[in-house]
Amino acid sequence: MLIKPDCIPCILKMSISAIRKLPLDEYAVKELYGRILEIPSLRGRSWDITSAEIIELVWGKIADTTKSADPFYSLKLEQNKRITEVYPFLEKLVDEASDPLYTAVKLAILGNAIDVMISDSRQFIENSITEKLEAQISKAMYGEFKKRLKQSKRLLFFGDNAGEIVFDRLLIETIRKMYDPEIAFVVRSVPALNDATLDEARAVGIDKLTTLVENGIYGPLPGTILKRCSNEVNDLVSRADLIISKGGGNFDTLEEEKGYLKDKITFMLLSKCDPYYKYFGVEIDQPVLANFY
């Protein structure tokens, strides 16, 4: 999905929110934000681009200023730690559910909200998850996903954020209990925002359940553009019976390749903005499970 006018203020808000989490004085904050405002697409001068590609430009400027390739490293550690602490609670929700797969899928989608929950207490996170579990996902889409999953021998999973990947681990464990596909889990080769790299995925034990693969994109892109991915990832894409794509960044970029990926990709994300609401027909902040045909 290419950017809409709505994306510009959203990216700018994300940018200043990210900057405020860094140990920069006010002068450095203003100077950095000023350089971000010079990006043509954030001035309405270029629309043939995805949000993830703009954020890659933003992240490059942040990395230049901080002189760090991974400015959010400590935040990612904290996100993984916080959600690992509630893992027994999440596992119990799935184990006691009448349909464990449905609950695991919904939790994996709700994990896409981890950014806004991470500063809260364990009890608050658990209460928030319990409350949000009342939201429904399309029964038709879930039925089709379950059918595709049952027929799949090779599953490819594009991960998203640290912390969120703990929810993904639970989904993978649930899938393994019901079916036995070969699973590969793709992470970023280069740190981008709070997205998971090999380090974060290994820290929560995903390497013990799947084959971990870096995407081969050597730029801080919080998304997946197949022509920039490694030959290994593209080979996995071509051989996969089912592809699961987590989060908005992966959706925005992979949606542009829907003609190639139709019939075997399922998107899991939250409808965080008006463009998503219009695209999926799902209210703001509601879970989205979408199979492409």
Are 255 and 1 in contact by the 8 Å Cβ rule? The answer is yes
Burial 270-283 (b: 16+ CB within 10 A, else e): bbbbebbbebbebe
Are 223 and 104 in contact by the 8 Å Cβ rule? The answer is no
Are 75 and 192 in contact by the 8 Å Cβ rule? The answer is no
Residue 258 pLDDT: 83
Are 186 and 192 in contact by the 8 Å Cβ rule? The answer is no
Are 254 and 233 in contact by the 8 Å Cβ rule? The answer is no
The mean pLDDT value for 214-243 works out to 97
If one counts every other C-beta atom within 10 angstroms of the C-beta of residue 262, the result is 11
Instruction: Find, among 184, 189, 243, the residue nearest to 221 by Cα.
Output: 189
Q: Tens of pLDDT along 261-273?
A: 989 999 999 999 9
Dist CA 97 CA 7 (whole Å) = 37
Q: Name the 3-class secondary structure at 186.
A: strand
Residue 117 pLDDT: 45
CB-based contacts of 57, cutoff 8 Å, min separation 6 = 39, 41
Q: Name the 3-class secondary structure at 98.
A: coil
| pTM recorded for the entire structure | 0.94
| Residue 171 scores a pLDDT above 70 | yes
Which residue matches tokens 């797969």? 101
| Residue 138 scores a pLDDT above 80 | yes
Q: With residue 269 as reference, give the H or E element that holds it.
A: strand 265-270
Q: Tens of pLDDT along 46-65?
A: 999 999 999 999 999 999 99
DSSP 8-state code for residue 229: S
Residue 122 pLDDT: 79
Ranges of H-type helices in 4-99: 7-20, 26-36, 51-66, 73-85, 87-95
Q: Hey, what's the torsion of the CAs at 256, 259, 260, 262, to 10 degrees?
A: 110
Q: Tens of pLDDT along 71-119?
A: 999 989 999 998 999 999 999 999 999 999 999 999 999 998 876 445 5
Q: Tens of pLDDT along 198-218?
A: 999 999 999 999 999 999 999
Q: With residue 248 as reference, give the H or E element that holds it.
A: helix 247-254
Which two structure tokens, joined as six digits, stand for 39?
């990006």
Residue 116 pLDDT: 47
**pLDDT band, residue 120 (cuts 50/70/90):** low
Which residue matches tokens 């990709």? 265
- Output 163 or 127, whichever has higher pLDDT: 163
| Residue 276 scores a pLDDT above 50 | yes
For the chain, domain boundaries: 7-66, 73-291
Residue 239 pLDDT: 97
Share of the chain above pLDDT 70, in %: 98
Structural domain 73-291, CATH architecture: 3-Layer(aba) Sandwich (3.40)
Q: Which of 11-15, 43-47, 116-120 comes out lowest in average pLDDT? A: 116-120
